[in-house]
Structure 1
Amino acid sequence: MPWFPDFVSAAEMARAQALAAGRADPVGRYLAALSEGDARVLESVWPGEVVVFDPRAGEIRGHRELRRFVDANRSWLAGRRARTEVVAATRSGGRAVVELLARLDGGGQDVVWPVAVVAESTADTSVVFRTYCSQWPVDGRRHVRPAFLPPGGAGPGDVVERYRAALQAGDAEAAVGTFAADGYYREPIGPEFTHRGTAALRSFFTARLGSGGIGLQHCAVTDDGLRCALEYNCLSWGGRELPPQAGLGVFERAPDGLLAAARFYDDVQPPAGLV
């Protein structure tokens, strides 16, 4: 019969393995908690503090608020028979960004909803989850999302910074020039709003920037060399200031250093009277 310390060692090993698995895939752990409606899935890995920034629920802090939020999300997702598939994952340092396509029951036809989740952990016992998306596919409305991240330090650099500069200058040709010949831009409101190839991109950016530039203030950069995920605050459009609004863009590089893809997650819209 095993000696008592053997049981202790086995329990500690199992716990260590569970912690390692959770920290290796924090977004997967978060999605499991939402699907199961069980905040303990998160609290067991990060017993210190779990903070959530959600487009619908806002900022969630504290175990009681977290449990209420997780339970409400389980009901909401179950009522829409939500299924998710991973589009891409980007990890750098203590931050992981996972892009998803959520499929919701739309009454006979699935609603495809692009969502991105950022997990950031600066301590072993704590984690922050930030979710980005447009709510247009869900309820047909754009919701102004206040900024919650401060401005960042060093910018993204290379082609991503060239794209951001072109956008701010309102230069459609320069924006198109940051994409590879078969590159594409996907709007936040769904995959059917994807613009691929030089002609389609030129048409899109000419219309989008017709009233002037769009100012994106970078906040956090997660870059693994292939993809760069840029969390930003949108500050202006067409020469008009906007209430700072949070968003995220993921830029995927082609072998030639240009953009193979740019996928966005926000609910920003131009001021009244513009494009």
Structure 2
Amino acid sequence: MPWLPEHFSAQYVAELTQHRSAPPAAVSFFDGITSGQVDALIASFAGEPELHHPVRGRVRGRDAFARFVATTSAELRAASFDVEDVDLVVTPHRTVEEVVLRYDVGGRRVGLPVAIVTERSDAGLHELRVYFSTWPITGSHANRPPLLQPDETATEPDVVGEYQRALASGDVEATVATFEPGATVREPAGGPYVHRGTQELRALYTSFFSNGGGIPLEHCTVTDDGRACAVEYNVVRWGVTDLPPEAGVAVYVRGASGLLAAARIYDDSNPPLTA
């Protein structure tokens, strides 16, 4: 939820508050983009607006950002869009917002999982990074170059770190053991690509590791509020196959047991898997 509500009109904030018990602490990404108040979006930034988008690429500067907002808002409204809130991870200097964006494309209704990472300080927003897979839209992958460089200090605690080590090693049973019995893993394409329970997760990771090994990721940022942990990363290898580095983010939600209750992935990798 990147946008700062104090920059929007009082009427717009009142409209957002109608279904809430209090005024919003921040305006969600798509509410802001489709608000028609581009000056409020620009004023939310501490400096020049900067946004990284899977299709549009880097959008930097007031004029480019204003064009992006106008184009995106018009396209969404023409496609009868709606937004389902999924989750929100908030730390003092970074926010990760997850939604499912639903809209009409090519005569069908698409449900597109989207994650928005916002870098911010007391002065305002510094950068937004948007992640989604193009698979639900086009039926193909659009491999995305890295947005960030790996950071050796970006390490994950507890069960999230255990999961990452098991994923990198290609150990199916160790990976599945990091999840609660009824946990879910949602692949980037969303929709039918949601796997639930130990049996389905074992089948999923057996498939994932079928190219001769695990999936070691370059870890770039870790955003952890104690309940959920979001990891921005670069995919660089899948099993025995080296891949062009590609940007992604995943969100891991801890359950009451301390194990993972859910994992949601946002990248556009085209994995070299066997049948």
Moved more, 197-206 or 148-157: 148-157
Letter in 2 for 1:79: A
Change (3 A) 1:73 1:17: closer
**Given the superposition, is the C-alpha separation of residues 257 and 147 from structure 1 closer, same or farther in structure 2, using an over 3 Å criterion?**
same
Amino acid at match of 2:147: F
Percent identity, aligned pairs only? 39
Residue 78 (structure 1) aligned with residue 66 (structure 2): no
Q: TM-score, normalised by structure 1?
A: 0.87
State the partner residue of 1:239. Answer: 240
Who is 1:5 aligned against? none
- Structure 1's consecutive aligned runs of 4 or more residues displaced over 3 angstroms after TM superposition are 19-24, 106-109
Name the structure 2 match of 1:168.
Answer: 168
| Aligned residue-pair number | 257
Q: Which residue of 2 is the match for residue 141 of structure 1? A: 140
Amino acid corresponding to residue 68 of structure 1 in structure 2: R
What is the match of residue 18 of structure 2?
A: none
Larger radius of gyration: 1
Q: CA deviation at 1:107?
A: 5.7
Q: Secondary structure at the match of 1:184?
A: strand
Shift of 1:239: 1.8
Unaligned runs of 5+ in 1: 1-15
* Alpha-carbon distance, 1:109 to partner: 4.5
Shift of 1:230: 0.7
Note if contact 1:185-1:201 (Cα within 8 Å) is conserved in structure 2: yes
Given that 1:38 and 1:70 are in contact with CA atoms closer than 8 Å, whether structure 2 keeps it comes out as no
Cα deviation, residue 274, structure 1? 4.4
Paired position in structure 2 for 1:3: none
Give the equivalent residue in structure 1 for 2:6: 18
* 1:79 CA displacement: 2.5
State the secondary structure of the residue aligned to 2:144: coil
The aligned residue for residue 258 of structure 1 is 259
Please tell me whether the aligned partners of residues 114 and 133 of structure 1 are also in contact (alpha carbons under 8 angstroms). Answer: yes
The Cα RMSD (Å) is 2.2
1:156-212 deviation per Cα after TM superposition (whole angstroms, max 9, x unaligned): 121111111111111111111110011111111013211111111111111111112
Contact 2:7/2:40 (CA < 8 Å) preserved in 1?
no
Partner of 1:260, secondary structure, is strand
Aligned to 2:250: 249
CA contact (8 A) 2:144 2:268 kept: yes
Residue 141 of structure 2 aligns to a residue whose secondary structure is coil
Question: Unpaired segments of 5 or more residues in structure 2?
Answer: 14-22
Q: Considering fraction of residues, name the structure with more helix.
A: 1
For 2:93, the aligned partner's letter is G
State the partner residue of 1:13: none
1:190 alignment counterpart:
190
The residue aligned with 2:17 is none
> Which one is further off, 122-131 or 244-253?
122-131
Residue 179 of structure 2 aligns to which amino acid in structure 1?
A: F
Aligned counterpart, 1:91:
90
The aligned counterpart of 1:201 is 201
Aligned twin of 1:7: none
- SS of the residue corresponding to residue 129 of structure 1 reads strand
1:12 aligns with none
Does the CA-based 8 Å contact 1:23-1:45 persist in structure 2? no
